[in-house]
C-alpha cells in the first residue's frame, strides 16, 4: 500500500511539472477561449457542404431547361442575279459570288417526338436547317409548319432520348418575377442570362400581327431568337423573339411570346398544319374623343367598330358601326391589338358573349366567330 501511494505521488508530481512547463512556454495550447482569428476562420468557412446549391443560385433551373434548348443553323442557297451573265453587268459589278447565306438562332424541344419550337424569322426561306443539342448531338430538321402572324414555327428532328422542357403557365406571371433567358447569342454557344419580368401584354410594337409580349430585362441578343424564357424552376414561360436596341446588342428591353400562345400554335401546326383563329368581320379602331363624338357614344374605354362586313359573323349577330366593344367573355378589351388577340383565340363556331356600348346603352350580344381568312401571299417576282 505504501508503494502504491509512492507511485501515485510521483505521477502527480510529473503531471504538475508538465503543466507548469506547458503553461510557461506554450500557453496557447491550453487557451480554449475563442480568439479573433478563430472567429474570422469560422466566418470564412463554407456555409454549405461541397456540392450543395448556394442560396440564390439558379443552377437547378438552368440545368433543367438548358438540355432542351437547341442551337439552330440555317443555310440558304444563293440566288443568282438574272443579269450576271450580261457582259456589261460583269464589267461594272464584276463576277458575282454564289456563296450560300447562313443564319443562327435557337429553339426549344417541347416533345419527346422531336418537335422544336422556334421563331419563324429564324428559319424563314431556309433550304437546310441543322439543329444542335447541348449534348453535342445534331440532326437535320424538317419544317412542320409556320405561323408568321405570331412569328412562330415548329420543326421536327429524328433523334432518340430527347430532353424535353416542362411547359409553365405564363398566365400566372407578374411584373417583378425572376426569369432566365437561354439561347445561343451571336453563335458563341449556349448562354444563360437572368432578369425579371419588366412588363406584360406589350403590343403595338409592329413586330407581329398578334402581339402579347412578355417584356424582360434578361439579356437577349441576336441568336437568342427562338430560345427559352424560363422561371426559376426551369419551366418554359415564353419564346424569346425580339429586342429593342440601337446598337444591335441588349439594352435591357427584350420580348418573348408567352407559352400560352406558343402552345396554341404548336397544337394547330402539329394537328392541322395550320393555326385556326376566330374572326368576326369588323373594322376596329382605338376609341378616341373624335370618334366617340362622331358616332355619338358615351363610352370612355373599349374599341369602337367603324365598319361591319356584310353577312359576316358580327353583322349576323347584330353588331353595328359605332358600337364600342368593352369585353369579350370574361376578358376586357382596351385597344385594337387586344381585340384582335382575344377574337383570334375564340373557337370558330362556338358562340361568345360580347359586351357592347351603343350610344348610351350597355348591351350583351352573342357572336359566333368564323374562321379567320388566311392572308394572301403575293407571288414572288420571276
Active site residues: 121, 151, 225
Q: With 0-12 CB in 10 A as exposed, 13-18 as middle and 19+ as buried, what is 318?
A: middle
If we measure between CA atoms, which residue out of 109, 164, 162 comes closest to residue 137?
Answer: 162
Angle at 27 between CA 23 and CA 31, to 5 degrees: 115
For cell 495550447, name the residue. Answer: 29
Phi-psi region of 318 (alpha: psi -120 to 50; beta: other; left: phi over 0): left
What is d(CA 8, CA 34) in angstroms, rounded to the nearest whole number?
A: 35
What is d(CA 356, CA 51) in angstroms, rounded to the nearest whole number?
A: 60
What is d(CA 328, CA 314) in angstroms, rounded to the nearest whole number?
A: 13
Query: How many residues are present in the chain?
Result: 382
Residues 6+ apart with CB under 8 A from 14: none
What is d(CA 71, CA 169) in angstroms, rounded to the nearest whole number?
A: 24
Residues 6+ apart with CB under 8 A from 370: 278, 279, 280, 281, 312, 313, 348, 349
What is d(CA 107, CA 225) in angstroms, rounded to the nearest whole number?
A: 8
Residues 6+ apart with CB under 8 A from 158: 114, 139
Radius of gyration, CA atoms only, the chain = 33
What is d(CA 183, CA 226) in angstroms, rounded to the nearest whole number?
A: 8
3-state class of 19 per DSSP? helix
Q: With 0-12 CB in 10 A as exposed, 13-18 as middle and 19+ as buried, what is 50?
A: exposed
Amino acid at each position: 500500500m505504501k508503494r502504491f501511494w509512492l507511485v501515485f505521488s510521483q505521477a502527480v508530481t510529473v503531471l504538475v511539472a508538465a503543466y507548469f512547463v506547458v503553461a510557461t512556454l506554450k500557453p496557447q495550447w491550453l487557451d480554449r477561449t475563442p480568439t479573433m482569428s478563430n472567429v474570422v476562420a469560422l466566418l470564412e468557412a463554407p456555409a454549405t457542404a461541397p456540392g450543395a446549391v448556394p442560396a440564390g443560385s439558379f443552377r437547378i433551373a438552368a440545368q433543367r431547361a438548358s438540355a432542351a434548348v437547341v442551337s439552330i443553323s440555317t443555310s440558304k442557297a444563293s440566288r443568282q442575279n438574272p443579269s450576271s451573265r450580261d457582259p456589261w453587268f460583269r464589267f461594272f459589278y464584276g463576277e458575282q459570288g454564289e456563296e450560300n447565306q447562313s443564319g443562327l438562332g435557337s429553339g426549344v424541344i417541347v416533345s419527346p417526338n422531336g418537335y422544336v419550337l422556334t421563331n419563324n424569322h429564324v428559319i424563314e426561306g431556309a433550304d437546310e436547317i441543322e439543329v444542335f443539342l447541348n449534348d453535342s448531338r445534331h440532326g437535320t430538321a424538317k419544317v412542320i409548319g409556320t405561323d408568321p402572324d405570331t412569328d412562330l414555327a415548329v420543326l421536327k428532328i429524328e433523334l432518340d432520348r430527347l430532353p424535353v422542357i416542362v411547359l409553365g403557365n405564363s398566365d400566372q406571371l407578374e411584373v417583378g418575377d425572376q426569369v432566365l433567358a437561354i439561347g445561343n447569342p451571336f453563335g458563341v454557344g449556349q448562354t444563360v442570362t437572368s432578369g425579371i419580368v419588366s412588363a406584360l401584354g406589350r403590343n403595338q410594337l409592329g413586330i407581329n400581327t398578334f402581339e402579347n409580349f412578355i417584356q424582360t430585362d434578361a439579356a437577349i441578343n441576336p441568336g437568342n431568337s427562338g430560345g427559352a424564357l424560363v422561371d426559376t424552376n426551369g419551366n418554359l414561360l415564353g419564346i424569346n423573339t425580339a429586342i429593342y436596341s440601337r446598337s444591335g446588342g441588349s439594352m435591357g428591353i427584350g420580348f418573348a411570346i408567352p407559352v400560352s400562345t406558343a402552345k396554341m400554335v404548336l397544337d394547330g401546326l402539329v394537328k392541322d398544319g395550320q393555326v385556326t383563329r376566330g374572326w368576326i368581320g369588323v373594322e376596329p379602331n382605338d376609341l378616341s374623343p373624335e370618334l366617340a363624338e362622331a358616332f355619338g357614344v358615351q363610352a370612355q374605354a373599349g374599341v369602337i367598330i367603324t365598319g361591319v362586313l356584310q353577312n359576316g359573323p358580327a353583322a349576323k349577330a347584330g353588331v353595328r358601326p359605332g358600337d364600342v366593344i368593352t369585353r369579350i367573355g370574361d376578358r376586357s378589351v382596351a385597344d385594337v391589338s387586344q381585340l384582335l388577340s382575344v377574337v383570334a383565340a375564340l373557337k370558330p363556331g362556338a358562340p361568345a358573349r360580347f359586351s357592347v356600348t351603343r350610344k348610351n346603352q350597355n348591351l350583351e350580344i352573342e357572336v359566333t366567330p368564323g374562321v379567320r381568312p388566311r392572308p394572301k401571299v403575293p407571288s414572288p417576282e420571276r
